[in-house]
A and B are shown apart, each in its own frame.
Chain A
């Protein structure tokens, strides 16, 4: 494993985590009940389903100050709404491709499936993701970054459908 430099060591990344109401949010609840520890750098936001995940949310989060985004949901085949997590998966893949086209590390956006029973597993995954994003360093938002509204829409829609 590569060693972190001083800047990276002192750097506290902010990671926004999107969860679904039925599996991963409950996994986070269970992590709490099991007292499984993970870094305080993650901020969880709840949806009903990972299918609700609009790629705009991810871009807004990154633009708004997050250094990374963690998408979570029910395991494939176990979606409370039958199959909507597959749509999240599709969007995630397209979005990652788009991120690298924009010159950002695609690893800043990560996907983890966690069932309601996998509290400790989710805690481990959150720790892993936070550390990986810490290693990537702060997300540099150049002041001349074009507004996502201007360049994003076409691609966003592509990723959306």
Chain B
């Protein structure tokens, strides 16, 4: 639910945003300033356990994660908790959901929390991903009205990753299989969005640490697909995705004899650019695959509507959107 004007969003940056995803944190706060979004960081938050800890032992993992929910619920006047990192978002919402579904689990978790003088009532906090805030609270209209430096002619592949849209506990995403929120957001910035069939496929996650060949193959697929669709940049919303595609791009090129050079940028960095914020404040320059060359492509003027290549005389028309509204 959208907090009222006075009510700030609770903010859970997560470990990545303090280190490897510093650019995400910087760009988020820079953009939030311009848009007047108030993010109030939860005091004394701890790690969400990333994707591994849950696999080891559920109860300590849930207790660890729920501590953040308990802190958020008790500290701020906010009823929402925004996580920019997809893994954090999934862990927080999974714990909230499971505690509500399994009361026995909730009481065990609360027993553990009681040791620290805390408790958490499932459902008392709405857990949201940062993208959801931009798409559903700020809205495309408001964002496009504030764009001063549109990203004309920049071809963006919108990459959601596998963690935020499935399972979609709150029913936020239009289609869990093929979400389009980020697509529309990028269009609102003036960018040219490419169809990116692998938009919800896995980036390899922590496989880089476990089996590099597997991870590199997963990363290669994504880069190759973005390249085939002629993308200048890939827009991400997850520190893990960014890290894998960015840092390991060179490894992929080495292992497969390819020559990809696709900068992997946080969607907040692109919003920041379009809002006219200086690149330095948005954390540009921290990426391994430099964005300079791609950003130089951004055109000054709206490109003339592309002359549709006249289909050959024989070609059959593509399916058109019908006027019938979906029920």
> Are A and B close enough to touch in the complex, i.e. CB under 8 Å?
no
